[in-house]
Structure 1
Amino acid sequence: MLRKIILSVLGVLFILGAVLFANYLIDNKHKPKPVIPKMVKTVLTDTVKNSTIPIVISANGSLTAKQRVELYSEVQGIFKTGSKLFKPGQKFNKGEALIRLDASEYYAGVQSAKSSLYNSIAAVMPDLRLDFPNVFQKWQSYLNSFDLNKTTPKLPEISDEKENYFITGRGIVSAYYSVKNLEQRLTKYRIIAPFSGILTEALVTEGTLVRSGQKLGEFINPSVYEMEVAISKSFADILKEGESVSLASLDHTKAYQGEVSRVNGSIDATTQTITVYIEVKHADLKEGMYLEAKLNAEKVDNAIEIDRNLLLDTEEIFVVNDSLLDVIPVKPVHFSSEKVVLKEVPDGTIILRKPVPGAYAGMHVKAAKDMSSTSDSIQ
């Protein structure tokens, strides 16, 4: 009997609890949901104003001397000590001897050939006096001017056919050209500086035996340099000789001014680039120095220039319309390392100046109002 009473009480309590819990759920169902405040990001903006944008091409390259001579020996001999050491860094003026080789043995052979030529002409003089009295005097004058210690003078001009047969038949003409050939080779024992410059490489030292065909060193003019850069083929018809070029060291601590000296007429089939040569003069420049060049290629009308990270992969940019972000299509016409030039962006369009993380079309934004970041015109 007691058990039935306890079960009845528990049943009543369970039903009462269920009713109270149901009423609680009904009451909470009609309570308003909490309002989550919308986050509005503050952005930096610019107002578009189309203008003429100059296209500047950046390229890097190393300097090489415009005037460069690789020194080779065409003869064999002992390298003789000169007035200046043959060492890298040594300066020579135009006309000074860079290298002298011992030519005493060869010089003796040249003198012997010159003496034989002189004797051959002297031997025919009696016959010339008898058979060709009208040309005797000019050959006599030639002999009088003949000096074994000087370069062999040019033979007198032969005036008629008989004189030609007579002189040629005595072997005088062939002997003359043999002597001139020997004299020409004798000059190769002495290498003269073709211009004022500096020795950048020296592969031999005084007293060593120099062989024919051996490389001796390199000689450059340190006052004029050239830089070779590769430019996209799209600028092949735009770049012209004489175009001014701004140059700077890679750390941008020094600036120089140069000009386009040559433009290659062919395009590299592998890289589809064209080679441009820039001439520059400055006392601070050295061969092998790396510089950055900025070439003015062309000008684009009705365009703007913005940071590359503002351009989307879909060739669109974000704009601000009534505090909402939107995207519009644009036409990129030139890319640089940091900037991009765009066309087809209407004047007065408000665009972002800096990228917004997580930006999407329809996003609520607010333009910055402080003095340092107010909307400016971009062009």
Structure 2
Amino acid sequence: MQLNHQEIGIGIIGCGRMGNLRSSISRNNSSVKYIGISDIDSGKAHQLGERINADIVSTNNSDIINDENVHALIVSTSEPEHYKPVISALERGKPVLVEKPIALSINEAEKMVEAAAKNSTSLHVGYTLRFNRHYLIGKQQIIENKVGNILSCVGRFNNTQRTGAEILKRSKHISFVNDALTYLVDLFGWYLDGKIPKEIVAKGHGKIYRKDGFDVDEIAAAIITYDDGTIVNLSMGYALPKNYPSHGRLVRAEIIGENGLLFFDDDRKEHIGFSESGMHHAYVDTDTEMGFLTSNASGNWAVDKYWGPFADETRSWLEFITQGIACPNTTGEEGLQNLKITLGIEKSIKLNETIKLEV
């Protein structure tokens, strides 16, 4: 249930990179009149609180969740810490936007979805890939039946070893399948709305990160078969050289239907910057001489404002809870399905066998 208040208070749980961006975007939204933030790291919490002029800052999540001036929550903690604040907020009837993946276990994700339904409130999951304009336009073509019944989807996702190392530094519990390939799982699941995934066959290969003690594959590929025979073919690599000039994910996606097709080339080579003083890589906080200017997945700061999919996603959610405007944000149910598929891919890789899904 959306709030439909014109003016609301927002609580931000977690003051890392995502929490910083969400809070800055929220603070600049005319409907947000109150912001509370919390993080177990007091230094992070107070630094962000001072920067955005937060109304309340705490190291205790409950202070923010229980604040009567906070009407909705954004949970931007690391993945293993999603569950408790999400459940606590939903049990109080407060809408929640949680970063992807929704959780690291199906049990926790199912309880989140159940709590939202039981308390007549809304749960959404942050999947910024949907909010690239071309993918939104693609969805509209599908809605207008320009493509017809979809027969197959093919997607490829690449990123650099430097970004991969940063992800693993942030959370040793995550895998690249659950952290990154999940974006394509979400995108194609959105496009295939109403079709049910039934079977997964996947393979993985890893050498690079195991040298540093991380038990993860930098290469993975999967075939997902849906109930009507539709085939989704996915591949992912976090093996590009450390200094490759991409500052984020590089994606290609192909959707073939009975009446049409959608081809997306998202390798981001169309806008290039070069500087002897360095092009800043926001995610890993370093500089490269050359950079693909629009390759940062979430977006970019420019002329004192954050632009791109992450900002559009946040504003879309805020419009939904304040004005009741329908939003294309990933729902809790969709986030749960994404998790089941990505965990199925990981299980197929580990066991070297076909996995049957119950979705």
TM range (shorter): under 0.3
In the superposition, the TM-score normalised over structure 2's length comes to 0.18
In the superposition, the TM-score normalised over structure 1's length comes to 0.17
Q: Which has the larger radius of gyration?
A: 1
More helix per residue: 2
More strand per residue: 1
